[in-house]
Amino acid sequence: MPKTPSTSVRNPFDKPVWALAIHGGAGAIPKGDPAEAAYRASLDRVLAAGARRLEAGDSALDVVESLVRLLEDDELFNAGKGAVLNEKGEAELDAAIMDGATLRAGAVASVKTVKNPVTLARAVMERSPHVMLVADGAENFASSVGVERVPNAYFVTERRRKQLQQELARRKTSAAPAPGPARSGTVGAVALDRSGHLAAATSTGGMNAKMPGRVGDAPIIGAGTFADETVAISCTGAGEQFMRHHVAGGVALRMEHLQETVDAASSYYVRDVLAPGDGGLIAVDARGNAALPFNSPGMFRGVADSTGRFDVRIWEN
Ligand code: ASP
């Protein structure tokens, strides 16, 4: 059983029968920030919950949905409660989930009243004939299938209101793009279960002070989220860049067609394709190998597997 909390203690000869990675967004708090302990505690708690469930034999799909829900409910992260706000001061949420064994996928974008967008994404996958629903259509569907809705004010925190005001003020004097931390905190989970199945899920409020209606990479299957029988991927960072370069799908294609390892395929995008500062991704393959590369100042992340690996990090090391 994995330890909690700790860093890696691992027998290199063991082969994982399950594996799990989570992220809480690219871009980090400064080293020494008083919030560090809270972020670490949250990531530890979520990673441990996933490790317990995978150890007990739960499916990768159930585990990634439940872990993303926990992160959506935690206002530290830019997803669900505590999401960043659009220019009008509203939370506008995107999420996706994908089942690697069947290639079934579900996604929602620009929802403003769905407490856990990842659960609505799963309902789109399992209870509609479609892969993606957006805005009012997605919210009406939530009501019709009994997925919980809340007023938009539920998501809005003082911290995000301040970040919005700072960004709107900054734009009056500068045309430069927003610095990284303003968009940190997107959440994601990828898992391999004991049956050898993979799944991925991602959820986000997108970018601070985004235009109303802007949709990022997280809910776009193949851009910010993807899973097949080889690998499961969840991305975080400058969404427009991940969409242009088809990052999540590209990792899977390189592994399948170039026989690259999960590490090589993920690093190719993060080091050679994306620009420095764009972000990172988490990936787990069908053998239980994990890769968590990023090119931002940090990435909130954790990785665990059945060999006893259990590791939560924010910065490079
Ligand atoms: N990728 C997300 C988006 O562009 C934001 C993030 O991961 O920080 O919506």
Residue nearest to atom 4 of ligand 1 (CA): 239
Assigned fold of 19-313: Glutamine Phosphoribosylpyrophosphate, subunit 1, domain 1 (3.60.20)
| Minimal-distance CA residue to ligand 1 atom 6 | 237
CA of 183 to the centre of ligand 1 (A): 7
**∠ CA 39-44-47 to the nearest 5 degrees?**
120
- Pocket flag, ligand 1, residue 25 (CB < 6 Å): yes
Residues 202-211 have a mean pLDDT of: 96
Q: Ligand 1 centre from 239 Cα, in Å? A: 5
Please indicate whether residue 188, judged by its CB atom, sits closer than 6 Å to ligand 1. Answer: no
Residue from 29, 72, 93, 207 to probe ligand 1 pocket by mutation (most atoms less than 8 Å from CB): 207
- Is 202 one of the catalytic residues? no
**Average pLDDT of the chain to the nearest whole number:** 94
Contact yes or no for 206/90 (Cβ under 8 A) = no
For residue 236 and ligand 1, the question of a CB distance below 6 A is answered with yes
Read off the pLDDT of residues 59-107 as tens digits, 9 standing for 90 and up.
Answer: 999 999 999 999 999 999 999 999 999 999 999 999 999 999 999 999 9
Give phi and psi for 172, each to the nearest 5: -70, -25
Cα 143 to ligand 1 centre (Å) = 26
**Exposed (0-12), middle (13-18) or buried (19+): which is 258, by Cβ within 10 Å?**
exposed
State residue 131's pLDDT score.
98
Spell out the domain ranges in the chain.
19-313
Query: Pocket of ligand 1, candidates 29, 134, 187, 217: which has the most ligand atoms within 8 Å of its Cβ, to mutate?
Result: 217
Of 83, 84, 85, 86, the C-alpha closest to 68 is: 83
Distance, CA of 81 to CA of 92 (rounded, Å):
11
218 lines ligand 1 (CB under 6 A): yes
The pLDDT value given to residue 181: 47
- What are the residue ranges of helices labelled H in 56-133? 60-73, 117-127
Q: Which two tokens stand for residue 264?
A: 């090589």
Confidence of residue 29 (pLDDT cuts 50, 70, 90): confident
Phi/psi at 189 (nearest 5 deg)? -145, 140
Distance between Cα 207 and ligand 1 center (Å): 6
Digit-coded pLDDT (tens) for 150-160: 999 999 999 99
124 neighbors 111 (Cβ within 8 angstroms): no
* pLDDT tens track for 135-189: 999 999 999 999 999 999 999 999 999 999 999 999 999 877 766 545 568 999 9
Residue 181 in contact with ligand 1 by CB distance below 6 A: no
Task: Give the model's pLDDT for residue 4.
Answer: 44
Task: Give, using CA atoms, the residue closest to atom 9 of ligand 1.
Answer: 206
Residue 24 in contact with ligand 1 by CB distance below 6 A: no
Confidence label for 317 from pLDDT (cuts 50, 70 and 90): low
Model pLDDT for residues 41-64, shown as the tens digit of each residue: 999 999 999 999 999 999 999 999
